[in-house]
Amino acid sequence: MKDYYNILGISKDASQSEIKKAYYKLAHKYHPDKGGDEKKFKEINEAYQVLSNKEKKNQYDRFGRVFEEADSRGGFDFGFGFNPFEAGPEEGSFGSLNLEDLFEEFFGSGRRRKRKTNRGRDIEVDIEMNLEDTLKGIKKTISLRKLISCSRCQGTGTEPGTKLKECFTCRGRGEVQQIKKTFFGSFTTYVICPECRGEGKIPEKSCNVCQGEGRISGEEKIEVFIPAGIDSNQIIEIKGKGEAGRRTEKPGDLYIRVFVRPHSVFQRKGDNLFLEIPISFSDACLGGEVEVITLERKKISLKIPQGTESGKVLRISGRGIPHFSGLGRGDLYIKLNIRTPKKLSKKQKELLEKLKSQGL
C-alpha cells in the first residue's frame, strides 16, 4: 500500500493548507516539463488527489484505500486488504471497523448520489519573471495545449442541424439504479448513467469532429495581466480558461503560479529591497555622497553620515517593490561596507602613517 503522507512529506495531522503547499512544492520540482521525474510526478498527483479530497482522505485514513478502487472490481469485494468476516485484533472482533459506517460509505444507504459534473478540468501553469518586472503591471501571452470547445458543433456535441435528446437508458435522470446482492441481502444504490455520463441527454447524431464530446484537443493563446508587486508562489486565477467542459458543461479555470527570479544585486524581502555597496574609509570618517542605481535603473545620490561604521544600514523610503494592493511601495535598505584597499601607493602609505601617529 502506498503511503500518500510519506510521498508528500507531511504528517497525518497536516491541514489542507499544508497538504496543498507540499504538493505545489513537489509538483514544481518533479514536473516533466521542467526536467523532473514523470513517474514521481504522477505519484505526487495521485497522493494529492486523495488527501485533498475530504471524503477520499477519510476513507484512506480508515481503510488504507479509497472506495473507488473497490467499486471498480464489482461485486462485494471490499478491497481494503482484509476480510471483515475474519477475526480482528481480538478473536471475534472487527477491530475499529464499524459495519454501519461501512454500509454507509459503500452502499450509500440507497440514497441518490450527487450528479457527476462534466465540467472542464482546471489547469495550473508556471510563469517566471524578472524582479524588475514586478515594478509595474505587465502582460504576457501564454500558449496552452488543452481541450477546447469544438467549433463545428459549438460545444454541444451534436452534428449541425440536429439536437440533444433524452437519454433512453436513464430517462433523462442522469443516473441508473443498481442492485447488489450480498451475504446481508440486496442493496440498492444509484450510479452515474454510463450512456450519457450523468447529463440525461445524448446527441441525436454525434458531431463528426468531436464524436459527441463537444470538445477537441487544440491550442489557445491567452493574454495574462500580471499586476505590479506580485511575489513568488502567488497565484493568478482566470475563470473559464481551463479545459472546455463536455458538451455544454462549464469550462475549468486557469491558475497561473508566478515565480520571480533572484536578482544578482538586489535581494527582496516582502516589498522591501536590500542592497550592499562599498564606501571608502575617508567617506566613512568624514562623510560624503555616493551614487546608487535603483532597481528601475535610476541614479540617486546617497549621503553618508560622518563617522559611519561598516555594516550601517540606511533606508530610502518608497524605493522598494510596489504593494500588491496598488497603494504605495516598500523601502530600499542599503548596507554600507567600508572598502579596505589591498594595494596602496607610496603617498597613501605616508598619509596613513601620519594618521596612525594621530591615533587613527
Q: Do 126 and 255 have their domain in common?
A: yes
Q: How many CB atoms lie within 10 A of CB 124?
A: 15
**SS3 of 120, please?**
coil
Q: Do 314 and 275 have their domain in common?
A: yes
Range of the domain at 331: 267-357
Q: Do 209 and 304 have their domain in common?
A: no
Sequence ranges of the binding site:
150, 153, 167, 170, 193, 196, 207, 210
Q: How far apart are CA 88 and CA 343, in angstroms?
A: 82
- Least confident span in 33-37, 240-244, 353-357: 33-37
Question: Could you tell me the pTM of the whole model?
Answer: 0.59
Higher-confidence residue: 74 or 222?
222
**Confidence check: pLDDT of 253 > 50:** yes
Sequence ranges of the binding site for Zn(2+):
150, 153, 167, 170, 193, 196, 207, 210
CATH number at residue 136: 2.60.260.20
Contacts of 274 (CB under 8 A, 6+ apart): 266, 267, 268, 332, 333, 334, 335
For residues 281, 284, 287, 291, the Cα torsion angle rounded to the nearest 10 degrees is 80
Q: Do 138 and 221 have their domain in common?
A: yes
Q: Do 250 and 303 have their domain in common?
A: no
Taking only the tens place, the pLDDT of each residue in 26-56 is 887 887 766 778 888 888 888 888 888 888 8
Distance set, CA 306 to CA 276, 289, 292 (Å): 18, 11, 18
Q: What is the DSSP letter of 133?
A: G
Assess if residue 191 is contained within a domain.
Answer: no
- Please give the tally of structural domains in the chain: 2
Assess if residue 248 is contained within a domain.
Answer: yes
Distance set, CA 20 to CA 9, 26, 47, 114 (Å): 12, 10, 11, 25
